[in-house]
Amino acid sequence: MSNSESTNSVQKTEKKVALITGANRGIGQQVAKELAGHGFIVLVGSRKLENAIEAVSEIGENAYPIAIDVTNKESILKAANQVNTEFGRLDVLVNNAGVSHAGSSERSLEEILASGKASVADIDEMRAVWETNVFGLLAVTQAFLPLLHKAPSARIVNLSSGMASLNLNADPEYPYRGGFNVVYGAGKTAVNAITLALSIELESSNIRVEAASPGFAATAMNNFQGTETVEEASRNIVRAALGENDPSVLFSAPEGSFPW
């Protein structure tokens, strides 16, 4: 992403600018593709720049690569400085980067969920997952808040999950409650808490915050054992980024709203 190319593009078109973390594959890449199709300048974030460049080649027009490792403070600040220099603002931040576990990639979804149960969870694995899904999300948000404040109307979309809902998982009749664990599920609950805290803090500002669940998509995060396509799973995230969901709902599901 060259300074002259990106800056000139914004000056000529005044397109909105969106940053999506972990956008080199899966849901993140699909959301990037759809926002680019809606006329956004989309910054495709990835830990490795070469992966972002490859994703951009598939997305096409309006997409630009940017290196950002959400677990690395220096990488986050460098990305924020780059966006500030080249665009001067950010209209949408989609905190999409996430991992479901930090163990062997050969494990099935059932094994991943079982290993995350409170009685047996590896604390180092829990820390590693939360470093990306929770602390990384907040670190990125904090770094980009000044640029979001510069936009006329900005949005922060935090990727959540139905597994995050305490209300649902506390219900003995909820069929998926057996999958709630302290590694991934509770981490997404923490994301919801951060979303609520940010929403309260920013409610009188130009920034709207929403936790959005994509549903159960077949991605690398669950060894492609999900029941929905990436295209289907991206829809609610795109709606949230465009501000098309019910403004009274802070935790959205593909079919409407989720309880906290």
Q: Which residues are catalytic?
A: 184, 188
Closest CA to 80 of 168, 6, 141: 141
Phi, psi of 18 (to 5 degrees): -125, 140
- Contact by Cβ (8 Å): 151, 40: no
Question: How many helices (H) and strands (E) are present in the chain, helices listed first?
Answer: 10, 8
Q: Please name every residue paired with 67 in a beta bridge, in sequence order, or none if there are none.
A: 46
